[in-house]
Amino acid sequence: MNKLVRIDKILAQSGYGSRKDIKKMIKDGRISIKDQVISNLGHKIDIKDAAFLSIDGEPVKIYESLTFMLNKPAGYITALEDPNHLTISEFIPEKWRNKGLFPIGRLDKNTEGLLLLTNDGQLSHRVSSPKWQIKKTYWLIVQGKPFSEKDQKKFAKGFRTIDGSEFLPSELNIIDGFEAELTVYEGQYHQVKRMMKSTGREVKYLRRIQIANLTLDPNLELGEMRMLTKEEKSELYKLCKLSTNEFQ
């Protein structure tokens, strides 16, 4: 037997508002299934019938969850609203506004590159938390002194700084003296800059190029975003030990 799922859950997860918003729509008689108006706030349906739901007579498009990749430019803060700064919300196309999307983790104002946006809180938590060991790779250019094998060893072991910060093991791939790729498995505040500072370097340029299985799409111009493909999304959920089929 298929599992029955509450309508407010299905529609909220598909980006039609919060569960509270959906309940209000039910109260207002705006939601129907197969032309039958729904009146019970806790109404459950077979997920296979979700395609027959409509709001104000318009068929709905069901998404289990929404996840996008954005190529973030420098000069924008990773927030949806801010009275004093430009925010990444201006890169969200009209169609995807008010769908509950929020950024996963944070890139600094002057950092560029791969930023994920989702409406799935559990996914966001797992991508960010060190517990799930989701890798994030950065391309960076530093000034101070060139990278050496000694740095690679130090980073590989993980280290603690004199001010008490602790960094888990990471992988430093030296490209050319002052240029490297750094892969970390956690998401501490200003992490890369602090790791570099503690080894006597200053980050001059920082771009995130990978999260888990996802590499920044070279076709995305700065400020452009696109939805993850089905394959990308299913691999990401797999790596986060989550099921994409959240309605089941």
Q: Which of 108, 120, 163, 176 is catalytic?
A: 108
For ligand URA, the closer CB: 64 or 112: 112
Respond yes or no: is residue 21 known to be catalytic. no
Nearest approach, Cβ of 229 to ligand URA (angstroms)? 25
For ligand URA, the closer CB: 68 or 139: 139
Footprint of ligand URA (CB under 6 A): 107-108, 111, 190-193, 206
Report which of 218, 142, 210 is spatially closest to residue 176, judged by C-alpha positions: 142
For ligand URA, the closer CB: 23 or 207: 207
For ligand URA, the closer CB: 10 or 203: 203
Nearest approach, Cβ of 206 to ligand URA (angstroms)? 6
Nearest approach, Cβ of 190 to ligand URA (angstroms)? 4
Nearest approach, Cβ of 222 to ligand URA (angstroms)? 15
Instruction: Give the residue numbers marked as catalytic.
Output: 108
